[in-house]
Amino acid sequence: MLILVRHGQTDANARGLLLGRADPPLNETGLRQARALAAALPRATRIVSSPLTRARHTAAVLAGAARGATEAADVEVDPRWIEMDYGDLDGRPATTLDEGSWHRWRHDPDFVPAGGESLAAVCSRVREACLELADDAARGDVVVVSHVSPIKAAVTWALGVGDEVGWRMFLGDAAVCRIDTSGPAPLLLAFNDARPVDGSDRPDR
């Protein structure tokens, strides 16, 4: 199983700011979310993370909980799972961008915000990463700790739909997606699953 985990909350997330390559740490809520994920998720054979602090810290908590398992792996950092580069918009509210630019960004995957990265570029690097993990994920649980845009890109890969479909998805802090890669085509089993964090997915419930 390919298990995609959005990192825990940061202060910028809580304030609703666009958070791309800026590198703030998890806040207290984010740390609690990471611990809840570690308690609820299955022990992984591989744990892969974006290079950004908020993802690496979440992944480190997961790895710490898994080290007692026979086949648990240390965290691997893969830059292809880094968040979209928002360029000049990083750390700013979404309202900074005018309505016309928002419309173009949401309908044209090749649109590049000033100093940033296109959605098409994000999807290209994530598809490559997914293909490389697919065989291992077919044999065991592979956890990837990443961000909103790369995880949505992985979901569009699994569904075989256009890059722009990612704009029609919502992914909460510390939410989990699951993709079965054991068959002839990827199969999306869960999207934006908050149960590991809210406690309803724990064995004692």
Binding residues for substrate: 6-13, 54, 83-86
Catalytic residue among 57, 83, 117, 147: 83
Name the binding residues: 6-13, 54, 83-86
Count of helix runs (H) and strand runs (E) in the chain: 7, 6
Distance CA 11, CA 43 (A): 29
Catalytic residue among 7, 57, 117, 147: 7
7 in catalytic set? yes
Strand partners, 141: none
Distance CA 20, CA 10 (A): 12
Residues 6+ apart with CB under 8 A from 201: 40, 193, 195
Strand partners, 145: 5, 49
CA 48 to chain centre: 11
Q: Which residues are catalytic?
A: 7, 83
